[in-house]
Structure 1
Amino acid sequence: MKKLLLVSAVGLALSGCGGGSGGGNSDNNGGSVTPPVTEPTVASVTGSIEAVNTDKNSITVNGREFVVGKAMFNNEQVSNFVVSSSLKDMTVQVDTAAVKQTATVTLEPTMTGEISAINHVTKTFTINGVELHFTGLSSEIGLNDWVMVSSLPVAPTAENGNQSYKVLSVIKFDMDGVRVDEIEGQVSNINANENTFKIGAITVSYPHVDNLTNGLWVEVEGTFNTNNKQFVATDVEIESYDNQVGDNEVEGVVTWVSNDKSAFELNNRGTFTVSPSTQFEDGSKQDLKAGGEVEVIYSSKSGQLVALEVEFEKPEWGDDNDDLWEQHEFECSGLVVNYSEHPVGVSATFDIEELSPNENHGVDCHNITINKSNAVFEDGLSFSNLQNKEVEVEGITINGQNVALEVEAWEADD
């Protein structure tokens, strides 16, 4: 993917992040660098910035403090980057594998683009055709400003196209040169005839939709066309948590949990297995609940994400919208037929044939999508050996289309 070099003094041009000021006392204009407070044992930490210290040029993410050596965005280094209090609540990934004195921080906004409508009274604004609400919207941010928006998923509804966002921060950047507009979300409603797919309620135009399947989390780069209300993509990149080496840490919202609590999905982006050795802090395995906010330390083993530690962020462990989350879940059991991989080795579609009448209680168990990168396979099953297997499938429904997140061997009721 072609990436963008931010060429302005970004740290001095930031404004408008929600959540208040950070831990520093003044802007950092140079001087000595203080070593990190902690020596993390994980290779990367992904989450929102909880606090900043401008004196030390440091940020705190998931309870860990890091001195920022350099910042990256779209695979290019951000020129003249310094820590500002307005960075608080922005989503970042910190590469901790080579931390000595400083760390590399990658900016990970959910959206970037120009504000096409804004209302400071209602605290709403529109970016890339998506209207968002943010109670911390700064009066310094206005029409036509180019911003980075960090967010987390919220319970899906029919009105938002099964994809909506809880905005964490909105940060304005003053930049020279060409700006890159981006939007992230789950793929649904692929139309090969029109070369389009959807992210929530937004239609994305892209000439290579044959490389995509429902349920994938993607980062889309392009431009929003105000005439036909479509986001015209120039590049689409599949995002997941399985491309990290070693143990890693990520925070976010639980967006699905299996019935037996043996697996859960985080941020609509990755599915983690819960093993007997998984440790829980401030809660237990039974407290896993869609809508809850957690921090997860995980490792990739045999092609699957294994949760090593789960820490609950809130005592209530949820957003009190259980019914909304559960409306977009499905279960099917029976014989796997018509299993077809496309692209080969990446994703597949299949049908579930009932083994007894009305076994699935009227649930449509045809044309189920499964993505190798974000599905959990139990009982010796794998992505490549599902055809003609008797299975139980659990997953989510995105814009009316079923995406499998866990597959295990079917056991007949006694």
Structure 2
Amino acid sequence: MKRYAFLSMVTFALFGCGGSDGGSDSSAQAAPSAIEGTIDSVSATTVTVNGYTYQATSASFQGQTFDQDMLTLEPNMMVKVSNQSRATNSSVELEPTFIGQIENINRLNSTFSITGVNLKFPRLSTTIANKDWVMVSSMPTANAGYKVLSVVKFLQDPLDGEMVAEGRVSALDMNSQSFKIGQSLTISFDPQIVEDKRTLADGMWVEVQGQYDESNGELISSRITIKTYNDFPNDGEIEGIVTWVAKDKSEFELNYRSRIAVRSTTEFDDGNKNNLVAGALVEVEIGNQGNAVYAKEIEFEDDLDIDWEQFEFGEEGRISNIGDVKEFVEITNRKDKKTIIFVDANTEYEDFKDLGALNIDECIEVEGIIIDGKHIAREISLEDDCDD
């Protein structure tokens, strides 16, 4: 396999070859309209993502353009390949988790940090040194961490001193105009720089670009993009980690970003519906019907993060307290165990709007996940009575 050095952040002109057979018009028609996933392999003229090979002449990231040989594409880098017309005009974009200067490299422990976030990667290249600019690709883990897939070196500062970090919003404080992503990185922001002037909320997955203030350990944002799959092209394909599954398997959450419905017509490859569990690595062919995102096909990969099970929960109990700002509810189950349940942007409510519609002593059933020690609801339903 030959690594291909090409533009790291320019517009791609690609030609879908469809799997490894490549080249013919008929195979090009088989390629999904868009793919987001990790690079399988690269050559002097092609890049292969999720088994589909494209001829590549350029790349893009947030409209930034760089000189050739700025970055060497490598397997396991996260990218998005678009081919809206399934013809000759396509684009490939880099999808980094972090872009920044690498610090605190400890080769004995396989650790390093970027923007103050501690990461682990046993295969860090010996050519990478502290203060080098790198791009990190990763998958989310069960407890607000990152599973690093690749670390690739830029030959120079790619973003005029700015850095990029991606993660789940938590501890949002509109008064101080700050929040955290991951377990530790503080973001300061002006609401006006959020893409499309959208309102931030805990639980959203965001990409933040800005200047890192090392003295205060915070990223001062110049751009914030909220990332979901709700507008992903119909017939697109996404690789990722299942981060939550409904008890009845009717829907699941992918990469903490969006819910995807499972229909009776959903097909399964290398597994079945029983394999749809939190922590499963999957490739999902997306359908988009109105505002509904659903899975046409789910293909299971070999990897499985077995730690996810301990971060799922289901609880039923009577409401003993409701937070003043309707961000949490405390319930007491039949064994007098009290649990504080938080809600976020991805919580769904059955037959009511939000926590403001609930009352003390009512019975609710909750399905959710545990992130950074907090029980966070994914579904809340009002029950007639608790099991006494």
Alpha-carbon separation, structure 2, partners of 1:244 and 1:382: 28
Q: Which position in structure 2 is the counterpart of 1:200?
A: 182
Match of 2:120 among 98, 121, 133: 133
TM-fit CA distance, 1:89 = 0.8
Q: TM-score, normalised by structure 1?
A: 0.75
Does residue 36 of structure 2 align to residue 46 of structure 1? yes
Against the structure 1 CA distance between its residues 194 and 121, is the aligned structure 2 distance closer, same or farther, given a 3 Å change threshold? same
Q: Does 1:258 align with 2:240?
A: no
Amino acid paired to 2:372: N
Preserved CA contact (<8 Å) 1:256 1:264: yes
What one-letter code is carried by the residue in structure 2 that aligns with 1:321? D
CA distance in 2, matches of 1:282, 1:35: 27
Per-residue deviation, residues 59-95 of structure 1 (Å, max 9, x unmatched): 11111111124311113345547995x4211000010
Q: How does 1:264-413 map to 2 (within 5 A)?
A: 264-314=252-302, 318-326=304-312, 329=313, 331=315, 349=327, 351=329, 358=334, 361-365=337-341, 368-371=342-345, 374=346, 381=351, 387=357, 392-407=365-380, 410=383
Identity %: 33
Change (3 A) 1:364 1:75: same
Q: Aligned pair in 2 of structure 1 residues 165, 353: CA closer, same or farther (>3 Å)?
A: closer
The alignment partner of 2:340 has SS state of: coil
Consecutive unaligned residues in structure 2, runs of 5 or more: 10-21, 192-197
Distance in 2 (alpha carbons) for counterparts of 1:225 and 1:79: 28
Instruction: For residue 364 of structure 1, report the CA deviation from its aligned partner.
Output: 1.9
Which whole-Å deviations, capped at 9, do the CAs of 1:110-155 have from their partners, x for residues lacking one? 0000012212333222111112111211111111110000001123
Report deviation, 1:413: 7.1
Q: Which amino acid aligns with 1:68?
A: A
Report the 3-state secondary structure (helix = DSSP H, G, I; strand = E; otherwise coil) of the residue aligned with 1:290: coil
Letter in 2 for 1:398: I
Assess, with a 3 A threshold, how the Cα gap between structure 1 residues 243 and 386 changes in structure 2: closer, same or farther. farther
In structure 2, the partner of 1:160 is: none
Superposed counterparts of 1:224-243, under 5 Å: 224-243=212-231
**2:6–2:57: 8 Å Cα contact kept in structure 1?**
no
Find the counterpart in structure 1 of residue 101 from structure 2.
Answer: 114
Distance, in Å, in 2 between the alignment partners of 1:178 and 1:88 is 26
Note the C-alpha offset of 1:226: 1.8
Q: Which amino acid aligns with 1:131?
A: N
TM-score by length of 2: 0.79
Residues in 2 aligned to 1:65 and 1:382: alpha-carbon distance in whole angstroms: 47
**Contact kept? 2:37, 2:50, Cα under 8 Å:** yes
Aligned AA (1:192): M
Which of 38-47 and 391-400 deviates more?
Answer: 391-400
Corresponding residue number in structure 1 for 2:148: 167
Which deviates more from structure 2 when the two are superposed, residues 400-409 or residues 226-235?
Answer: 400-409
Query: Where in structure 2 are the equivalents of 1:28-177 lying within 5 Å?
Result: 38-40=28-30, 42-54=32-44, 57-80=45-68, 84=72, 86-101=73-88, 103-156=90-143, 163-175=144-156
Residues 242 and 80 (structure 1 numbering): CA distance in 2 closer, same or farther, change over 3 Å? Answer: same
Amino acid at match of 2:339: V
Query: Is the partner of 1:70 in helix, strand or coil?
Result: coil
* Secondary structure at 2:306 match in 1: coil
User: For residues 386 and 299 of structure 1, what CA distance do their matches in structure 2 show?
Assistant: 33
**Alignment-mate amino acid for residue 377 of structure 2:** A
* Number of equivalenced pairs: 361
Q: What SS does the corresponding residue of 1:194 show, helix, strand or coil?
A: coil
Check 1:83–1:189 CA distance in 2 against 1; reply closer, same or farther (3 A cut). closer
Distance 2:248 2:336 in 1: 18
Secondary structure at the counterpart of residue 76 of structure 1? coil
**CA–CA distance in structure 1, aligned partners of residues 347 and 215 of structure 2:** 38
* Alpha-carbon separation, structure 1, partners of 2:335 and 2:249: 22
For residue 257 of structure 1, what is the amino acid of its counterpart? V
- Tell me how far 1:299 sits from its aligned partner: 2.2
Following superposition, the deviation at residue 273 of structure 1 comes to 1.8
1:41, CA displacement in angstroms?
A: 5.1
Change (3 A) 1:324 1:385: closer
Given that 1:187 and 1:198 are in contact with CA atoms closer than 8 Å, whether structure 2 keeps it comes out as: yes
Contact 2:7 2:58 in 1 (8 A): no
- Equivalence for 2:201: 213
